[in-house]
Amino acid sequence: MKILVAVKRVIDYNVQIRVKEDGTGVVTDNVKMSTNPPDDNAIEEAVKIKESGKATEIVAVTVGEEKAQETVRKALAVGADRGIHIKADGVIEPLAVSKILKKIVDKEKPDLVFMGKQAIDDDCNQTGQMLSALLDWPQATFASKIDVKDGKLEVTREIDEGLETIEINTPALVTCDLRLNEPRYASLPNIMKAKKKPIEQLNASELDVDITPKIQQIKVEEPPKRKAGIKVSNVAELVQKLKNEAKVI
């Protein structure tokens, strides 16, 4: 069984996001970047499945600028066998990424496609669902537990009401939740070994996919600053302020 794992390079979750002075976007120059956290869970789950003997190959793929290759190299360091980097500059919207990934799936013919449930930079939560539709494959989104059976997957999903367990046939697409597993750290020896693993590079223009943005971004602004809180001396004062000032009771 072959597993294809899609990963994305984003601003590290520990970094304080700053908006550009001209409002055209957020500052990315000299900012620490890393793999999108749910994508780390997707990589880890693929590696665990391979370690259990149920998968034979893991292919990591990313779409983005030249530096996006770093995310593929990290995936190789934690257990992926080879990587694919689709070079594309600028903003690549979810539909364009889905169409690019479909081309890769058609080429690689994996049994499973894993990816994070959403990216922490745009929070779109669309790419997995769009790719599933383009492939006409069953999907299991927001997975917090995955059991691989004969030609099937039993997936526990995180939903608003709690947990839902479904069974789907393969080939299938799964988007991974943060509670699926605990991603491992890449050891120094594995980081060195990853430098020798192959990464195939393609240009998005070679795949006959239109990546022109369909959405025009007018302006980016920081959210309004929250007012400082106040302390009250007793419950009576709290009730009075909630009733007369906040007017919520």
Predicted TM-score (pTM) of the model is: 0.84
CB 61 within 8 A of CB 86: yes
Q: How many residues in total does the chain contain?
A: 249
Q: Identify the helix (H) or strand (E) that includes residue 115.
A: strand 112-116
pLDDT at 228: 85
pLDDT at 90: 82
Tell me the two tokens of residue 141.
């989104």
Query: Helices H, strands E: what count in the chain?
Result: 6, 11
CB 77 within 8 A of CB 47: no
Run means of pLDDT, 10 residues per run, the chain, 249 residues? 95 89 85 93 96 94 92 94 92 92 95 94 92 96 93 91 93 95 92 90 89 87 85 92 87
pLDDT at 235: 93
pLDDT at 91: 84
pLDDT digits (tens, 9 = 90+) for 113-153: 999 999 998 889 999 999 999 999 999 999 999 999 888 99
pLDDT at 147: 93
pLDDT at 28: 85
pLDDT at 51: 94
pLDDT at 111: 95
Spatial separation of the C-alpha atoms in residues 131 and 229, rounded to whole Å: 45
CA-wise closest residue to 130 among 68, 75, 69, 175:
175
DSSP at 81:
S
DSSP at 187:
P
Domains in the chain and their CATH numbers? 2-244 (3.40.50.620)
